[in-house]
Chain A
Amino acid sequence: MPDVVRYTARRLLLMIPTFIGATFLVFFAGFALPGDPIAALGGERSMSESTRQQLIERYHLDEPVWQQYFRYMGDVLQGDLGVSILRRREVSDIFKEVFPRTVKLAGLAIAIEIVMGLSAGVLAALKKDKFLDQLVLVSTTFAVAIPVFVLGFAAQNIFAIRLDIFPIGGIQDGAWSYVLPAFVLATLSLAYVARLTRTTLSESLNEDYVQTAKAKGLPQSRVVGRHALRNALIPVVTFIGLDLAGLLGGAIITETVFNIPGVGRTIVQAIGTRDHAIVVGLSIAAVIVYLVISLVIDLFYAVLDPRIRYE
């Protein structure tokens, strides 16, 4: 279908300015971080002027920012995210180590969002203004109102310390270690998904095509599932997709509270040690992941809503 090709091409073209803008901002912000990277490398020891000069030249720190940016981006496009002088490791190596943990955490959280958020939203829409609906409204309001770190500590206190079901933090217990943090991470978005689904589904249940579906003599399950829900899900899928893209950039608070060495916590630690290479490298990797996921979402969106393809 040429329409789909044109649509995809347009989305890809639109990604280019976003990519340049976002990466430049990240790169520039890395420079704006206080502290002299060379001095940080030396630590407590003093450094001779010639060594200092050598290091500046080696890392091209004497060039203007935009020139450094293009040099750096050239490397990034070849898979090189730079080198952490402090850790004496390639940033891309560090990324390969920490990213899978963030993926596990985010993937589990999204799964929880989809299963629980969608079910709660669908039930609330079908039982509008009844007890179940009110319950969903009240509990989602709660979920939105509680800060994530409070929720994290409370979950640790109850489920790890008192009930001793889950480990309190770390990733020593394999997949099991991710369950509690994933629930905590999912809570906020789960509430949004439930509310969004409730609104869009109860709207689409009033649409004319649902009346048509009923008039066709279709069973209620098909009227709701195939006709109303399919339309209602279009905005929900977009929300979940963008949420996934965001979570893959690292869940800073949750990873920190539960001591999960993923992208988020690694960036926070690197900020603490003034490790610019890691901060910038991982952030740019997160930007790329975000862009790729949102492209996939856009394409999926066009599959879900045929009207988009011909806009």
Chain B
Amino acid sequence: MEEVGSVTVADIPSHQQKVGEVLLEVEDLSVDFKTDAGVVKAVQSVSFTLHAGETLAIIGESGSGKSVTAQAIMGIVPSPPGVVNAHAIRFRGQNLADLTEKDRRKVRGQEIAMIFQDPLTSLNPVYSVGKQIGEMFRVHRGASRKEATEAAIELMEQVRIPEARLRVGDYPHQFSGGMRQRVMIAMALSLDPAVLIADEPTTALDVTVQAQIMELLGSLQEEHNMGLILITHDLGVVASVADTVQLMYAGGVVEKAGADDFYEAHAHPYAEGLMRSIPTLIGEDERLIPIEGAPPSLIRLPPGCPFNPRCPYVTDRCRTEKPLLRSIAGYAGLVACHNAEDVRSAKVGGGGGSGE
């Protein structure tokens, strides 16, 4: 996986769309946060489906709503101030909103597990890693202390933590960043969940470690045939592992496509901007082109398309009418842009800048 960090079209391994069992269906999910300053529309009508064995990448910058989407699926949006509204969030056909808190807890952690961005702050500093992994077996399986420790050691070996038996009693601060994230992964995978949500799993790690963690996640996913939701702002991470890509901006989905299609032929101006701002290891003299401006406030979204203040293709229509996800000719993905055809033809006409 040495291509992590650099994205060129030629490098992207082709992923076949694996069609497994439908695990997760999210329909029309919205999350608001009621604050003193106003209502923060963190997520707006997001829908997607996840199959067994599939890796769905949710891409976006901070504040785009990707992490809150994950929290909503887990049912751990802090409330108040968070308010979750969804037509349905179904796991294996069961709408999670219909479950009692007790039944929901059985899904959480056992069926849908999650790992977080910063493994140091996400692990409890006062318990040994063995205790924290073993807790899953103690609470959900009623295991004895000894059984839980044995299970924890086994998992630590599975995520390739060296000398697991010696280190099971160590505390999080005694591990390196990469090893801590392995502990988080071991904990998340302990009860063999069907879905794993990884929220920026490599962002807090060294570049060299990032590739190892992604490789580990990839191989574990294959082994367990899990559905993986990979939340990231790092297009380089996505390129090597994702099957499907969902690009978020200001709480909404702006583009949705198979990963290969997306990398070859994204159609949203924001996607184009993101692609141009990725550093590559190949194009030596290439300058990075940042996206002008800053993301909008989620309390006061601009009318029309939320991206319009930063968009080079902006037209009057974009300032009044909010674009919906639609398919366009010659592209297998869906895109929420009035001018997607122009973006595409500009690219094909030689405007694209991703290193060819």
Residues of A within 8 A of B (CB): 207-209, 211-219, 222, 227, 230-231, 234, 304-307, 310
Contacts and interface: CB of A to CB of B under 8 A. Distances in A.
A213 B116 CA distance: 12
Contacts of B37: none
Interface in B56-90: 71, 74, 76
Interface residues on B, range: 20 to 34
A304 B126 CA distance: 7
A189 B114 CA distance: 41
A260 to B, nearest CB: 39
Interface in B110-150: 110, 113-114, 116, 118, 121-128, 135-136, 139-140
A257 B121 CA distance: 49
6 contacts: A211-B122, A212-B124, A215-B114, A231-B126, A306-B173, A310-B173
A215 B125 contact: no
A213 B110 CA distance: 13
B124 A216 contact: no
A293 to B, nearest CB: 23
Q: Which of A218, A219, A222, A230 has the most CB of B within 10 A?
A: A218
Given A214-B76, A227-B124, A310 B174 contact: yes
**Interface SS of chain A: helix, strand, loop or mixed?**
helix
Interface stretch (B101-109, B235-243, B283-291): B101-109
Contacts of A214: 74, 76, 108
A216 B108 contact: yes
Contact of B109 (A217, A231, A304, A310): A217
Nearest to A216: B109
Contacts of A230: 124, 126-127
B187 interface: yes
A219 B124 contact: no
A268 to B, nearest CB: 42
B171 interface: yes
Given A216-B113, A219-B139, 8 more contacts: A207-B121, A209-B122, A212-B122, A214-B74, A217-B107, A217-B139, A230-B127, A307-B173
Contacts of A307: 125, 171, 173
